[in-house]
Structure 1
Amino acid sequence: MYHSLEEFLSHWAFESADTQKLMDALTDASLSQPMYPGGRNLGRLAWHIAQTIPEMMNKTGLAVGGVGEHEEVPPTAVEIAHGYASAALSLVEEIKAKWTDLTLTTTDELYGFTWTKAMTLAALMSHQIHHRGQMTVLMRQAGLRVPGVYGPAKEEWEDLGMEPPAI
């Protein structure tokens, strides 16, 4: 849970940069990689992460832009990456312009629950991290080089001339 806007904004800068690295590594061909037959594909999952930023945070009184809640998945990886970047930046701008540390203790109704704004920010962060993990698996299945998150990825260890740790 966040106790100050600076605490959230610092964490958001770190986590959204890692999410952006994954978005930037997508290719148009990889977008169709399915989770399972009939399930979301990689493109839909990446777009869902981008769309959730305004969808969730606008329920708190913000006016986060970047992507529309009901927009179709763009046909290109570049458009998805750009949409995520725009929404992530818009969130920061909206919070800085409209909230104070005291705002974090106020509540909103979201998804049938009453959450403080601090809880909503924590849920947004957890949601992004959860789906980012799913993205890395689908990216591997699609044959993409996956950027490291929380440390080097397999290929990054090799780029450093080191053996990836045995797990």
Structure 2
Amino acid sequence: MFTNVQSFINEYRLESASTQKQFDSFTDASLKQKIAPDHRTLGYLAWHIVATAGKLAPTGLIIHAVDPYEQPVSARAIAESYRKTANDVLVAVKQQLTDDMLHKTIQFYENQWTIGYVLYGFLKHEIHHRGQLTVLMRQAGLPVAGMYGPSKEEWLGMGMQPQK
């Protein structure tokens, strides 16, 4: 749970930069990648991440939200939408929330959560789906950027053998 605004801003800046690295490496063809026939596509999951900012409305944040049902067919459009949305979240949190407000309890879906916990869940939700994207990216033959350490491709780029 976040107890001060700056902590969220610092963490979300780092995590959204990692998410943006993924989004920037998508191709239009990769958006159709599925792990199995009846599962979500890479494009669907990416757009779901972009659209999730709209779910922050119960916190009182005013953020321009994308339509979750109007997924672009272009990888570049999804990446640019994420860039704008992530920036909007950072600006909104900085300008519209105070540390004290993070302790306020609100109705969030069927739960009573503090605004600080909603922001925590928002961040963890993105990280969760980013992990799914990594698998789909590998299946689609895309390079994977390291998030918390070098990826296989980055180890090789440094002239080192990746750990097995």
TM range (shorter): over 0.9
Task: Determine whether 1:29 maps to 2:29.
Answer: yes
Report Cα offsets for 1:72-107 as digits up to 9, x if no partner.
110000010111111111111111111110010012
Structure 1 ranges of 4+ moved more than 2 A: none
Q: Look up the match of 1:5.
A: 5
Deviations 1:108-136 (A, max 9, x none): 21120011001001100110000000000
Give the deviation of 1:69 after TM superposition.
3.6
Q: CA deviation at 1:160?
A: 0.3
Do 2:106 and 2:114's aligned partners in 1 also have CA atoms closer than 8 Å? Answer: yes
How do 1:28-107 and structure 2 match up within 5 A?
28-54=28-54, 56-65=55-64, 67-107=65-105
Count of residue pairs the alignment pairs up: 164
- Is the 2:2–2:120 contact (alpha carbons within 8 Å) kept by the matching residues of 1? yes
Contact 1:59 1:108 in 2 (8 A): yes
Secondary structure of 2:47's match? helix
Query: What's the secondary structure of 2:3's corresponding residue?
Result: coil
Assess if the C-alpha contact under 8 Å between 2:34 and 2:41 holds in 1. Answer: yes
User: Residue 68 of structure 1: CA displacement?
Assistant: 1.8
**1:161 and 2:135 aligned:** no
Q: Take 2:68 and 2:17, find their aligned partners in 1: how far apart are those partners? A: 24
- Identical residues among aligned pairs (%): 44
Corresponding residue number in structure 1 for 2:18: 18
How many angstroms apart in 1 are the aligned matches of 2:68 and 2:49? 13
* Alpha-carbon distance in structure 2 between the residues aligned to 1:69 and 1:111: 19
Find the partner of 2:116 among 118, 125, 147.
118
SS at match of 2:44: helix
Residue 38 of structure 1 deviates from its aligned partner by 2.4
133-142 vs 89-98, which moves further: 89-98
Shift of 1:25: 0.8
8 Å contact from structure 1 (residues 52, 69) kept in 2: no
* Gapped regions of structure 1 (runs ≥ 5): none
CA RMSD of aligned residues (A): 1.0
Give the deviation of 1:34 after TM superposition.
1.0
